[in-house]
Amino acid sequence: MKPRYVQRTITSILAGFLILTAPGIGAAESLAGSKGDTRFHPFLPRNSKDPCTKAYNAYVAASGHSAYATTPYMRVTSLYIICGSRLNAPSQKAAEELALKSCQATRNSYKVTTGGGCEVAASK
């Protein structure tokens, strides 16, 4: 009689663990809608057609590892913002490196000096 009770108890405990951990497994797969690790809040123009606003919104909507890099905005010295992003990279670190490269390439192509260099604002 005892082995049946032990077997039923173990089965019910394992079933409980499965029920509790199953929602966590599904949520970990998609990063869509998450702002991720925010290092600083990027300045975004209120114009929804602005390229940096579009890039940030695409970053938030991306379902994989992504990063958003931008130049820091200082009200007195910065006349504009330069940004770069990388969506759905193999890892968070790779996304950060590629977003920085994208931002720096844009900054170099326009040959401008801003209030600072490109920095990763957010990554996931």
Could you tell me the pLDDT band of residue 85, with boundaries at 50, 70 and 90?
very high
Q: Does residue 78 have a pLDDT over 60?
A: yes
Q: How confident is the model at residue 27 (pLDDT cuts 50, 70, 90)?
A: very low
Question: What are the residue boundaries of the structural domains of the chain, listed by start?
Answer: 1-29, 37-123
Is it the case that residue 44 has pLDDT exceeding 50? yes
As a three-state string, the secondary structure of the chain is: CHHHHHHHHHHHHHHHHHHHHHHHHHHHHCCCCCCCEECCCCCCCCCCCCHHHHHHHHHHHCCCEEEEEECCCCCCCCCCCCEEEEEEECCHHHHHHHHHHHHHHHHHHHCCCCCCCCEEEEEC
pTM recorded for the entire structure: 0.72
Residue 26: the pLDDT is 45
Q: Which residue has the higher pLDDT, 72 or 101?
A: 101
Q: What is the reported pLDDT for 124? A: 94
Percent of the chain with pLDDT over 90: 47
Q: Which of 5-9, 70-74, 81-85, 105-109 has the lowest mean pLDDT?
A: 5-9
